[in-house]
Amino acid sequence: MTKQILVKQLYETVDARNTDGLSKFLSDTIRFRIGNHDTVVGRRNVLAANDAFFNSIAGMTHKIENIWVQGEDVICNGSVDYVRLDGTPYSAHFATTLKMRNEVIEDYFVYADISQL
């Protein structure tokens, strides 16, 4: 699978808020951070953090604008439209860096302002 396809499938899984599906993309020792939150380490902890985030919103849709590949690593950017639990919308721009090892994500860092969620 190309890195571009992997990124698209990753964000389809995230938009579906599918924690089980997300697991297949992550290494056992993954490091994950979104916005200004602390870095979470380890697949189980990252899945729990994502599950908590998924349950804090009613939905989201990412629109990927660019994907750049450098060796095993990937950077992408775009916009994301959230729906808060009260039904109100919130949109943000994002950039994500993915450090890949053996076809799974080792470092998954998302730069976005989600403070208004």
> Would you call 69 exposed, middle or buried from its count of C-beta atoms within 10 A (0-12, 13-18, 19+)?
middle
**How much is the average pLDDT of 26-36?**
97
CA dist 11 and 71 (Å) reads 20
- As a whole number, the mean pLDDT across the chain is 97
Per-residue pLDDT tens digits for 45-60: 999 999 999 999 999 9
Domain housing 99 = 3-112
**Tens-place pLDDT, residues 61-95:** 999 999 999 999 999 999 999 999 999 999 999 99
In a domain, 94, yes or no: yes
Residue 65 domain-assigned (yes or no): yes
Domain count, the chain: 1
For residue 51, is it within any domain? yes
Q: What is the CATH number of the domain that holds 39?
A: 3.10.450.50
Q: What is the pTM (predicted TM-score) of this model?
A: 0.94
Any domain includes 58: yes
